[in-house]
Amino acid sequence: MAIQYDRRKFVQQASAGAALWGVAAALGAEPSVAPTQKDLSQPSDANRPKESGQPSERRPPALKELYRNHFLIGMAGDLPGNYSQQELALVKEHFNMVTPENCMKPALVHPSQNTWRFERPDALVKWCLENNIDVHGHTLVWHAQTNDWFFRDGDKATVIRRMEEHISTLVGRYKGKIQSWDVVNEAISDGGDAQTGRTENLRRSSWLQAVGPEFITLAFKFAHQADPQAKLYYNDYGIEAGPKHASSLVLLRRLLDQRVPIHAVGIQGHWSTRGIPYAAIDKAIGNYAALGLKVAITELDVTIRGTSGGQFGPGFGPRRAANIAPAAPEDLKAQADAYARLFAIFVEHNSVLERVTFWGLNDRRTWRFGQHPLVFDANNQPKPAFWAIVDVLRSPQPDLPPRS
Ligand code: XIL
């Protein structure tokens, strides 16, 4: 049976009224009655900024306040690092949870058996604590960004011991300071068919080969031992649809049957305006909730199609805005519609959806650099997608194109 945890949501409900007052004030409205969510459902076109994404007169409300009654709003980044003061201010304004983008991954924090690099993770946790921002740890057991020493010359028992030492040291160090962890990342294979969908279809990772399917069970057990209060996630991409979704249900049922301490599923949410499986996302959240698990959207970005989309491949180009083609207005509009439809689905599921985390901060601080995937542009200005997710709360049924 999954452990339920509603402390944060309870606090959110209690402060919802105050938060909506804040929103109304930020939007320039002067409510004459105590605000409810309905008070926000007024026409917004008058204030809607131009679709070019240029700065507008309309003051951007803080996303974390706007959505306080629904779920946490997160971002990913190795803060404070080399982020500018303006970028850090943007984080503080809009986000109430931070996921370290890279610095807590095994290859970075634990590059060899006797080497730990805690400087950046420590600095991140300190900065977040000082600024009243929660931290979601990412990620303990993964096939990528994990050095070979974990597996080299080790029999099964040795590899398990190394895993345990890794998890207990890292989770133990931040016990009480990190609220939740991605314990196992991306364990399910891509693709698949009706037949594999009846199985867990696990990726043939070094972990699977050294330990067998039990590696997942053990990782959750070790994390729970190290911090019994931490909320523990299985995190993956593409698990919202098709055979991979079916496999995720098989895997999660096994873990729950074995009474593994798992509390939530992370749907990463790396999508593109070329096609988002809206209906499947809606259904998948419901399916996970039916298992008794919480859900989060953990790595949201929506890349833009078109000539500006692919020229730097999957995103490791130079991070200078001057080098890339600006997004076309029609692409920004399509992206805004996509974000609006996604957030409309997320809000419907707010009783199980704990958090929506964007993977990055702005269109400069993103692993999909060049594809304009986030809601702030490279100069930290809100894009049409930002206003679309603001307006979703003002209009219960946004005027959106048909679902693809
Ligand atoms: C990405 C980072 O954003 C990049 O900076 C890094 O080079 C590669 O990893 N799924 C995950 C994340 O769980 O950890 C990945 O982050 C993106 C895909």
Domain boundaries, the chain: 71-387
- Which ligand 1 atom is nearest residue 182's CA? 13
Catalytic annotation on 65? no
Q: Is 143 in the pocket of ligand 1 (CB under 6 A)?
A: no
Question: Do 49 and 58 meet the contact criterion of CB atoms below 8 Å apart?
Answer: yes
Give the pLDDT of residue 394: 84
- Which ligand 1 atom is nearest residue 316's CA? 7
Catalytic annotation on 354? no
Q: Is 236 in the pocket of ligand 1 (CB under 6 A)?
A: no
Q: How many angstroms separate the CA atoms of 58 and 226, rounded?
A: 47
Distance (Å) from CA 180 to ligand 1 centroid: 18
Give the pLDDT of residue 337: 95
The ranges of the chain with pLDDT < 70 are 1-57, 306-323, 396-404
Give the pLDDT of residue 29: 29
Give the pLDDT of residue 322: 55
DSSP, residue by residue, 173-227: HTTTT--EEEEEE--BPSS--TTGGGS--B---HHHHHH-THHHHHHHHHHHHH-
Distance (Å) from CA 347 to ligand 1 centroid: 26
Q: How many angstroms separate the CA atoms of 103 and 81, rounded?
A: 10
User: Which DSSP state fits 396?
Assistant: S
Using alpha carbons only, how large is the chain's radius of gyration in Å?
21
Q: Is 185 in the pocket of ligand 1 (CB under 6 A)?
A: yes
Give the pLDDT of residue 305: 72
State the catalytic residue, choosing from 186, 200, 240, 354. 186
**CATH superfamily, domain at 71-387:** Glycosidases (3.20.20.80)
Q: How many angstroms separate the CA atoms of 90 and 70, rounded?
A: 21
Candidates 99, 101, 368: which one to mutate for ligand 1, based on the most atoms within 8 Å of Cβ?
101
Dump pLDDT digits (tens) for 18-55: 332 223 323 322 222 222 332 222 333 333 444 444 44
Distance (Å) from CA 103 to ligand 1 centroid: 11
Long-range contacts from 186-190, C-beta under 8 angstroms, 24+ separation: 186/142, 186/143, 186/144, 186/235, 186/236, 186/237, 187/143, 187/216, 187/234, 187/236, 187/251, 188/236, 188/239, 188/244, 188/247, 188/248, 188/251, 189/244, 189/247, 190/238, 190/244
Dump pLDDT digits (tens) for 114-154: 999 999 999 999 999 999 999 999 999 999 999 999 999 99
Nearest CA to ligand 1 atom 16: 101
Distance (Å) from CA 144 to ligand 1 centroid: 9
Question: Do 102 and 78 meet the contact criterion of CB atoms below 8 Å apart?
Answer: yes
Q: Is 102 in the pocket of ligand 1 (CB under 6 A)?
A: yes
Q: How many angstroms separate the CA atoms of 61 and 175, rounded?
A: 33
Question: Do 367 and 360 meet the contact criterion of CB atoms below 8 Å apart?
Answer: yes
Q: Which residue has the tokens 């993964």?
A: 142
Q: Is 367 in the pocket of ligand 1 (CB under 6 A)?
A: yes
Q: How many angstroms separate the CA atoms of 92 and 114, rounded?
A: 35
Give the pLDDT of residue 123: 98
